């Protein structure tokens, strides 16, 4: 590909200062006017002060989860979210039962899997790599499509998701991280959705630069109309397509193609926050809490090689893994680039990767050195 930009190590740690745009009418995201540090251009983790030792080893324990539950400040529990999550999972369990017992048509099963994958791309390729990290640029049709798929995934608006993700990278696994894995597996996985946001997270939101998001009309349109777009795309459309196209039972369609599919995609995303921050191996930087994970890598469409991603957050590939099965998101970005639909793909050179792994990582755990891709080694004209 001729439009791949090879960037130097210095480019990852460059900070920019920009004046905020007029943000009147955007109420949900938290931001401040004035100068900002552009955290999404960093090549390293910024850690907020904490009392724990830097070396943190988490051991999954049901006993510890029980102790954590006893010590929980129940006044901070968001009971409306608890009810919503219980209802969602109850419907998903019923949908899973219908699927296992063969009461769902084969077409509905296939449709559910396909919807899970394409909506997942709205997260991995869209809100994560395109909008949160700006690791590549996309044409308007691609951006609109990814915006729609992000609505199908039903994981907050692009604006809110990206803002929190930039905070996550800047202060990963600290009190300023919304999904802080130091607070335990369950909290990192989904407990954060049911608990009042830590004050440090709110402070972090005020400190990250989201000027690029606030100047993107696609992002602002989706944020303004998020409920009106997302509910039809995430629940109604996946329900009526099987009903009208191959006479699936309407309730069966809702709990499988709607609720079960949504629950699965949410848990896969949640696993990046929990599993990938607690288990796996660290080929590139052993000081980070993020891990590479062989199962989660392909399951999350290429997002589970998380130690690489936190070491090189702006690399559009998000790992050294190549191939449609192991890194579906990357292959789609590269395929669209051949037609000019994606461009200015940001990548880090093999030399920088090798030096970083040797300096801060565990080289023996680097199981998947990148293969050279023909035509991808030339930087785009500046």
Q: Can you spell out the DSSP letters for 106-150?
A: HHHHHHHHHHHHHHHHIIIIIIIIIIIT--SEE-HHHHHHHHHHH
CA distance 252 to 314: 41
DSSP tag of 234: I
- The rounded mean pLDDT for the chain is 83
305 bridge partner residues: 292
Secondary structure element (H or E) that encloses residue 7, with its range: strand 4-7
Cβ atoms of 167 and 174 closer than 8 Å: no
Q: Sign (positive/negative) of CA torsion 343, 269, 181, 323?
A: negative
pLDDT for 309 equals 97
- How far CA 47 is from CA of 181, 191, 215, 289, in Å, comes to 13, 22, 28, 11
**Span 332-342, pLDDT tens digits:** 999 999 999 99
pLDDT confidence tier of residue 373, bands split at 50, 70 and 90: very low
Per-residue pLDDT band for 368 (boundaries 50, 70, 90) equals low
225-243 average pLDDT score: 97
- At residue 136 the predicted structure's pLDDT band, cuts being 50, 70 and 90, is very high
Instruction: Go through 238-267 and write b for each residue having 16 or more CB atoms within 10 A of its CB, e for each that does not.
Output: bbbbbbeeeebbeebbbbbbbbbbbbbbbe
Higher pLDDT, 375 or 233: 233
Query: Which residues lie across from 343 on neighbouring strands?
Result: 137
Residue with tokens 């400040």: 73
How far is residue 299's CA from residue 165's CA, in Å, rounded to a whole number?
Answer: 20
Burial 294-326 (b: 16+ CB within 10 A, else e): eebbbebbbbbbbbbbbbbbbbbbbbbbbeeeb
User: What's the CA gap between 302 and 293, in Å, rounded?
Assistant: 10
Task: Report how far residue 157's alpha carbon sits from residue 147's, in angstroms, rounded to the nearest whole number.
Answer: 9
At 53 the pLDDT is 44
Q: What is the pTM of this model?
A: 0.82
Tell me if 345 sits within 8 A of 332, measured CB to CB.
Answer: no
Q: State residue 7's pLDDT score.
A: 46
**Per-residue confidence (pLDDT) for residue 14, from 0 to 100:** 29
Position 160 scores a pLDDT of 97
Asked whether residue 168 carries a pLDDT value surpassing 70, the answer given is yes
Higher-scoring residue by pLDDT: 135, 6 = 135
* Predicted confidence (pLDDT) per residue in 113-128, tens digit: 999 999 999 999 999 9
**Distances, alpha carbon 348 to alpha carbons 11, 309, 318, 363, 370, in Å:** 9, 11, 10, 18, 12
Listed by start position, the domains of the chain span 4-9+75-159+216-365
CA distance 294 to 281: 9
Higher-confidence residue of 20 and 68: namely 68
Strands 342-343 and 345-348 turn out to be: unpaired
H or E stretch including 342?
strand 342-343
pLDDT: which is higher, 45 or 257: 257
pLDDT digits (tens, 9 = 90+) for 283-325: 999 999 999 999 999 999 999 999 999 999 999 999 988 888 8
pLDDT of residue 369: 57
pLDDT in tens, 31-89: 333 233 333 344 444 444 344 444 455 556 677 667 766 777 888 999 999 999 999 99
Model confidence at 5: pLDDT above 70:
no
**Looking at the predicted structure, is the pLDDT value of residue 8 above 70?**
no
Longest dimension (CA), the chain: 59
* pLDDT band (50, 70, 90) for residue 4: low
pLDDT for residue 195 is more than 60: yes
Residue 108, pLDDT above cutoff 70: yes
């Amino acid at each position: 590909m001729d439009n791949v930009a090879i960037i130097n190590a210095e480019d990852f740690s460059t900070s920019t200062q920009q004046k905020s745009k007029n943000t009147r009418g955007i109420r949900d995201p938290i931001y401040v006017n004035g100068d900002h540090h552009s955290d999404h251009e960093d090549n390293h983790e910024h850690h907020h002060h904490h009392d724990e030792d830097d070396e943190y080893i988490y051991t999954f324990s049901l006993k510890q989860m029980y102790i954590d539950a006893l010590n929980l400040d129940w006044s901070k529990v968001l009971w409306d979210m608890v009810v919503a999550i219980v209802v969602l999972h109850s419907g998903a369990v019923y949908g899973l039962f219908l699927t296992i017992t063969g009461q769902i048509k084969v077409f509905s099963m296939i449709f559910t899997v396909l919807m899970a994958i394409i909506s997942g791309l709205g997260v991995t390729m869209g809100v994560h790599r395109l909008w949160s990290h700006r690791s590549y640029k996309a044409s308007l049709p691609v951006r609109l499509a990814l915006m729609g798929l992000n609505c199908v995934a039903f994981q907050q608006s692009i604006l809110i998701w990206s803002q929190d993700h930039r905070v996550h990278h800047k202060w990963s696994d600290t009190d300023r991280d919304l999904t802080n894995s130091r607070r335990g597996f369950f909290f990192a996985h989904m407990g954060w959705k049911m608990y009042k946001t830590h004050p440090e997270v709110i402070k972090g939101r005020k400190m990250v630069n989201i000027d690029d998001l606030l100047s993107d009309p696609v992002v602002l349109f989706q944020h303004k109309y998020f409920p009106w777009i997302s509910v039809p795309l995430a629940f109604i459309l996946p329900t009526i397509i099987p009903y009208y196209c191959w006479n699936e039972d309407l309730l069966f369609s809702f709990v499988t193609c709607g609720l079960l599919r949504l629950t699965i995609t949410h848990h896969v995303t949640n696993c990046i926050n929990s599993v990938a921050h607690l288990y796996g191996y660290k080929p590139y930087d052993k000081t980070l809490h993020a891990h590479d994970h062989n199962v989660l890598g392909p399951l999350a469409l290429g997002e589970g090689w998380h130690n690489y991603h936190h070491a090189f957050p702006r690399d559009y590939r998000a790992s050294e893994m190549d191939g449609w099965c192991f890194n579906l998101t990357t292959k789609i970005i590269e395929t669209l680039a051949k037609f000019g639909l994606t461009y200015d793909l940001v990548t880090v050179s093999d030399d920088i990767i090798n030096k970083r792994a040797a300096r801060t990582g565990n080289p023996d755990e680097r199981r998947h050195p990148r293969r050279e891709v023909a035509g991808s080694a030339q930087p785009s004209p500046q």
